Structure 1
Amino acid sequence: MEAANSLRFRNALVFLRHQLRSTYAFNPRHQQQCRTNVNTTESPIKKNFAKECIAKFINQGYGDMKNIPRPTPGLLETLEERGFVGQFHGNREEFTTLTNNEVIHIYAGADATASSLHIGHLMVLMPMIHSMLHGHRISLIVGVATARIGDPSGRLTERTGMKDQSLGERTFRHGTDITDQLSTLLKTVINHARERGHQESKIGRRAISSNLQWHRNVSIIDFMQIVGHRSRIGEMMLRKSVSERLKSEEGLSFSEFSYQLIQALDYWHLFSNLGVRLQIGGSDQWGNITAGCDLINRMVNEAAWIDEQPSPALIKNMAKPYGLTVPLLTTSTGEKFSKSTGAGNIWISPRKTPPFSLYQYLLNRPDNIMESWLKYFTLLPISEIKEIMAEQKKHPERRPAQKKLAYELISLLHGRLVALKCIETTAIFFGQTDEADGIQKREAKLKLGLTKSDVEGISARPFWEPVNAERIMGMPLEKALAAGGVAPSNTQARTLLKSGAVSIGPHLRQVKLTDEKTILTQEDLIDGNILLIKVGKNKLHVIRVEDEKTIELAMQEKEDPESALKPTKPGPITPLQRRSARKKERRINVGVRANRRSEQKKITKLLDREGQVARTKLAGRGDFSGLVSKAVNRAASQRIPDNQTQPSISWRR
């Protein structure tokens, strides 16, 4: 009986371990990604504020790709002037003095709940970009770990799919996509900033990482020792994200309730290991940001070694965390731009929202938001924005603000050449051009005929519709309009054609029906299978004409265009092919793990070397008390009124 119970208990443990791995591991072959650190007494996250951590706050610019001795002053003033500053945690005067004299480290995060960021995320990314252009260090954290918990901020219900077994695999895949997207975006931003006159030598260092790197090795005991003992239920209950959910019908799960503590642990880890001083987030993140600041303050106040130093107030002032929230971007109905609320359908990824679509979306924004959006989403000087708005008031029909916003934002996200292509495409399809000979160029282009490359910018989802060729070719044109979703029925399509508002084909010839029906022929198609339909002045429809063999594949591409961009080879059929494929996969996995270990060793050596330099060359070879005494003497030499708080001191030699 005891043997049976023992076997049953062992089987239960094996089943539980399998369930945890299938839930949180992105790939069963890579279990090292989700191992817990159960065989060691050391946590990957510091459990206290150690004396060595203070070296991270000494000259943040040292050891960077760009060694910036002094940042460009006026960071907080720039953010306030552009409307980015909502709530601020900490002393503003101290922070202004700090950022004007020292390079600091700033971070912002975005959970990997979708495969792409949307336009609402730019409200947080743009302040980070301005901070980088002022010479400060920035870290963009992709929340692969926190996406598996679910942030309750600004939500009345729990996120869908939080209990799925594929949650770990999905968040890891999304995190990889967002990391690649942010990497490409920062490169484009730097090129854009260089074109706008920013000196590359004054641009700060940037880094992108995932919080799964440290969360995957934190046990529940470590989490409780670091965060649990220093958190108070009363303070957590008073936060808006918690109180509002408790009043809802669904209530609040414990995992969502603990989300603010997990994000606070992110801030503490980045603070103690990288010297991060400021966290930026949306206004709905205020409770999570203050939770991190409170955790850091308690850690610093518990450090007994600080009180033993000659000037403990100076050290505590150096280790003060700050928090800043930005306003949320909302739609015309006041709804937040979000992936889950349905308003976040304007994506940054060109695969999900083509640049041409984003360009047209920006051209159609109302006049009353133009000034604020130009400040938010461009790097234009404020003086130039005022000149644009003055011209907008004089000639609103020309829409100069919308055109400038669309060009600048497309250049920032996708590059100048893509923005120029959007302008050219808009001139061809809609005749909207500011060039003197723009109309003549358009007529010459249409006379030659549009090609597939001219339609590529608008041919991604949701702009094209696959239709079986047998349903429309050789048939009246109204059937093509109904099949492609241009009109809901044949009758309404015929009424639309009779009004003369429809143009089709490579030459955009106008079709106006009288009593005779127009038959769709091969001459009306572009490149043999693309039917371009223009309705009115600013509506375009693209129909892909497919044969019976390719219509099913085209429908799948319509549903999921991202998978269509990665064509898959047919899988192995015979047992010999399957064995060969498994051997090949094992060889690839071994190589990947070896490269990962090699890169980890390089990073560890680099961090150790930077830490050694920070403790020796930068801080001097004397003991720590000597370092503090030098800073005290340096602070005493500055004239600071007695009624003001002592600012942070630059530790550069």
Structure 2
Amino acid sequence: MLPRELIHRILRPSLQAVSQRSFSTSSRRANVIEELESRGMVADLTSRAVRKHVDEPAVVYLGVDPSARSLHVGNLAALIGLLHFRLQGHTGIALIGGATGSVGDPSGRSTERNALSPAELDANVKAITTQLTDFLNHGVPFAQSRNRRRDLAFLEKETGAIRVENNLDWLGGMGLLKFLSTVGKTARISTMLSRESVKSRLESTSGLSFTEFSYQLLQAFDFLTLHQRHGCTIQLGGSDQLGNIMGGIEMIRKSKESVVSVSQDVELGLGGDQVDPAYGLTMPLLTTASGEKFGKSAGNAIWLDSSMTSPFDFYQFFLRTTDEEVHKYLKIFSFIRVIEIEGIMADHKAHPDQRVAQKVLAAEATELIHGAKGLRQALAATELFYSSDLKELNTPSLIDALDARPDLSTPGEAAIPSLLVRLSKADFLNQSLEKILTASGLVTSKTQARKAIEAGTLQLNGVRIPAKQHQRLITEEDTLDGGLVVLKQGKSTHKAVLLQ
């Protein structure tokens, strides 16, 4: 079954349940702040005035740390937030910290991060630049397709532009004396010490280096630079970034020579002495029900790069979402209308054993990041590795999906690494099971293969291998249609081997 057909089949009962409510809602579309709030994606706003500010096209930026060559799902909520802005006609800037990446943000960290070499940092910046550009471009038609032609005002609205910037362009050539006389002059030590990220580190045993202490000034200067160059007036970030964002707003304010009058301020209903020249929106930091940082699986990040985390593993990560978390994640990680999500949750609660909500969430998140081809591969791998009867499956179509060959009719389609391990039939048929286990990469040695068999944790085509069969041979009868062999160790380690 094709990915879209699967999702439509899952959604159909829920959409029917909410169709009347969908058409009876107001024709006015919520602005981007209201949309994000309805999805639980707003932790703090630095000013109430930002709600009126976004009624007109604005420029908004999100900073990204190039500490690896790929972003991970911990970055995804903020990226989706930036995409929501673009969908409603605002210009989005993704700022890569080519300069600040060598310093490291102390926010949310108990120790100082390891420094990257210039070569590593440059490689990471290039890879993430491509990743961000692809996401912000391909995410637009994906998100629009989820409105199912009901919200014509949204579908017909002109999307905003995107820019990917690197702060090395303006910080790289700035000398220490210029930094101190411009950026440093505007800073107040008492304010910098009051930041929660600074206070928590000063109270820790590891302390805080001057390098990390200065990070907030560099980030503030980024906001000022983007404000002056591109008219950027809004910064997005996690809730741990609120202090840094406020620092940027203060630096922008001090750079202004004029102040909005009190009468104008009162007219906006703010009641303060002046209107902020810029604003911040922070998003909740996501944690699992157990309190762990979102995006970590057994200590390993779930990457957005398919060569680092396969679409299958990405899909499984979201499929394992608990019932307590799935409603929240559906609103954040999908572009399905909130009213339709309520229908999905009603269907889910009526039939919890079917895990409807988790299947929709996993499919939506996977297709957003890896496209229809990546979702097709993830669904095929899930069907293959968790089927109760492999002989009933359409093996050739599964092989084609797992292989994920590029579609020549779709220029620029992202490459998805194959999940198939190809081995020579002549070299492995009528040979020991231990040999194919090792060659496939399921285990690292014949000794480990023997121990897995003796422990009873190994399966061949869904059937457990008895402990006494470590000398067992692989025969023609052990291959499925097309020469496929499915290996599994324990609960979640799988390999699909194609003997040719």
TM-score interval, smaller chain: 0.7 to 0.9
2:43 to 86, 89, 98: 86
Q: 1:209 to 1:491 in 2, by over 3 A?
A: closer
Amino acid at match of 1:176: K
Call closer, same or farther: CA 1:490–1:104 in 2, change over 3 Å: same
Name the structure 1 match of 2:138: 188
Matched, 1:159 2:113: yes
Q: What is the match of residue 176 of structure 1?
A: 126
Cα RMSD after superposing both structures:
3.9
Q: Counterparts of 1:7-18 in structure 2 under 5 Å? A: none
Question: Secondary structure of 1:496's partner?
Answer: coil
Q: Is the Cα–Cα contact under 8 Å of residues 123 and 327 in structure 1 kept in the other structure?
A: no
Find the partner of 1:532 among 478, 482, 486.
Answer: 486
The match for 1:494 among 454, 457, 461 is 454
Task: Tell me, yes or no, if the aligned pair for 1:72 and 1:134 is still in contact at 8 Å.
Answer: no
Q: Specify the alignment match of 1:445 in structure 2.
A: 394
Aligned partner (choices 213, 222, 237) of residue 169 of structure 2: 213
Percentage of pairs with the same residue: 33
- 1:513 positional shift: 4.1
* Aligned-pair CA distance for 1:431: 3.5
Distance across 2 between alignment mates of 1:311 and 1:77:
24
Change in Cα spacing, 1:451 to 1:386, as seen in structure 2 (3 Å) is: closer
Which residue matches 1:119? 73
Query: Is the Cα–Cα contact under 8 Å of residues 282 and 327 in structure 1 kept in the other structure?
Result: yes
SS in 2 for 1:330: coil
Aligned counterparts of 2:333 and 2:77: Cα–Cα separation in 1:
8
Residues 579-590 of structure 1: pairs in structure 2 closer than 5 A: none
**1:95 maps to amino acid:** V
Distance 1:98 1:215 in 2: 29
What is the distance in 1 between the residues matched to 2:459 and 2:328?
36
Please state how far the C-alpha of 1:485 moved relative to its aligned partner: 4.6
For residue 217 of structure 1, report the CA deviation from its aligned partner: 2.4
Count of aligned pairs:
448
Aligned partner letter, 1:357: D
Separation in 2, partners of 1:180, 1:149: 23
Q: How far did residue 219 of structure 1 move?
A: 2.1
Change (3 A) 1:215 1:530: farther
* Equivalent position SS for 1:155: coil
Instruction: Note the 1:284-433 alignment, pairs <5 A.
Output: 284-300=240-256, 303=257, 320-337=277-294, 343=299, 345-431=301-387
Structure 2 counterpart of 1:454, which letter?
L
Question: Displacement, 1:200?
Answer: 5.4
Question: Who is 1:147 aligned against?
Answer: 101
Is 2:210 the counterpart of 1:254?
yes
- Identify the match of residue 237 of structure 2 among 258, 281, 292: 281
| Structure 2: stretches of 5+ with no match in the other structure | 1-27, 148-153, 406-415
Check 1:453–1:398 CA distance in 2 against 1; reply closer, same or farther (3 A cut). closer
Residue 170 (structure 1) shift: 1.2
Does the alignment pair 1:95 with 2:50? yes
Give the drift of 1:266: 0.1
For the residues of structure 2 that align with 1:396 and 1:541, how far apart are their CA atoms? 30
Deviations 1:318-369 (A, max 9, x none): 7621112111122453232478x98451011111111121112211221110
- Work out the CA distance in 2 between the residues paired with 1:475 and 1:293: 68
Q: Distance in 2 between matches of 1:514 and 1:117?
A: 42
Cα distance per residue 1:186-245 (max 9 Å; x no partner): 122012023224425421111111111111222222212221111111111111111111
Amino acid at match of 2:459: V
The CA distance in 2 between the partners of 1:314 and 1:295, in whole Å, is: 25
Query: Alpha-carbon deviation of 1:539?
Result: 5.0
Q: 1:120–1:344: 8 Å Cα contact kept in structure 2?
A: no
- Partner Cα separation in structure 1 for residue 209 and residue 459 of structure 2: 54
Amino acid at match of 2:392: E
> Conserved in 1, the CA contact under 8 Å of 2:96 and 2:129?
yes
Does structure 2 conserve the Cα–Cα contact (< 8 Å) formed by 1:329 and 1:336? yes
Query: What is the deviation of 1:526?
Result: 8.8
Instruction: Please name the residue that 2:150 is paired with.
Output: none
Give yes or no for the alignment of 1:225 onto 2:181.
Answer: yes
Distance 2:99 2:298 in 1: 23
- Is the alpha carbon distance of 1:493 and 1:186 closer, same or farther for their aligned partners in structure 2, counting shifts above 3 Å? same
Partner of residue 90, structure 2: 136
Give the drift of 1:423.
2.6
For residues 107 and 131 of structure 1, the distance between their equivalents in structure 2, rounded to whole angstroms, comes to 10
Deviations 1:96-151 (A, max 9, x none): 12212x21111111111110000010121111111111211111111111101111
State how far apart, in whole Å, the 2-side matches of 1:179 and 1:80 are: 28
Which runs of structure 1 show a deviation greater than 6 angstroms over 4 or more consecutive aligned residues?
Answer: 310-316, 463-473, 525-530, 543-546
Q: What code does the residue aligned with 2:362 have?
A: A
- Deviation string 1:251-279 (CA, Å, 9 cap, x unpaired) is 21111110000000000111122111111
- Spell out, residue by residue over 1:69-102, the C-alpha distance to the aligned partner (whole angstroms, 9 max, x if none): xx96522211111111112212x1x2212212x2
* Match in the other structure for 2:402: 454
Aligned partner of residue 494 in structure 2, secondary structure? strand
Change (3 A) 1:312 1:534: closer
Whole-angstrom distance in 2 between the partners of 1:115 and 1:342: 20
Q: Distance in 1 between matches of 2:120 and 2:435?
A: 40
Q: Distance in 1 between matches of 2:215 and 2:422?
A: 43
SS in structure 2 of the partner of residue 248 of structure 1: coil
Residues 537 and 143 (structure 1), Cα distance of their counterparts in 2 relative to 1, 3 Å cut: closer
The residue that corresponds to 1:32 in the other structure is none
8 Å CA contact 1:503, 1:535 repeated in 2: no
Q: Report if aligned partners of 1:467, 1:543 keep a CA contact under 8 Å in 2.
A: yes
Alignment of 1:48-87 (within 5 A): 73-87=30-44
Q: What SS does the aligned partner of 1:224 have?
A: helix
Secondary structure of the 1:227 match is helix
Residue 284 to residue 209, structure 1, CA distance change in 2 (3 Å): same
Does the aligned pair in 1 maintain the 2:32–2:54 contact within 8 Å? Answer: yes
Q: Which residue of structure 2 aligns with residue 577 of structure 1?
A: none
Match of 2:10 in 1: none
SS at match of 1:204: coil
Instruction: Judge conservation of contact 2:402–2:420 (CA < 8 Å) in 1.
Output: no
Distance 1:405 1:450, change over 3 A: closer
Corresponding residue of 2:495: 541
Aligned equivalents of 1:258, 1:146: Cα separation in 2? 10
Residue range with higher mean Cα deviation, 152-161 or 478-487: 478-487
TM-score, normalised on structure 2?
0.78
Deviation, structure 1 residue 312 = 11
What are the Cα deviations for residues 591-616 of structure 1, in whole angstroms up to 9, with x where unaligned?
A: xxxxxxxxxxxxxxxxxxxxxxxxxx
Partner-residue secondary structure (3-state), 1:129: helix
Is the alpha carbon distance of 1:456 and 1:366 closer, same or farther for their aligned partners in structure 2, counting shifts above 3 Å? same
Task: Quote the offset at 1:471 in angstroms.
Answer: 11
Residue 174 of structure 1 and its aligned partner are, at CA, apart by 0.3
For 1:342 and 1:156, locate their aligned partners in 2 and report how far apart those are by CA, in whole Å. 20
Offset at residue 430 of structure 1 (A) = 2.6
Partner of 1:23: none
Amino acid at match of 2:58: I
CA contact (8 A) 2:380 2:402 kept: no
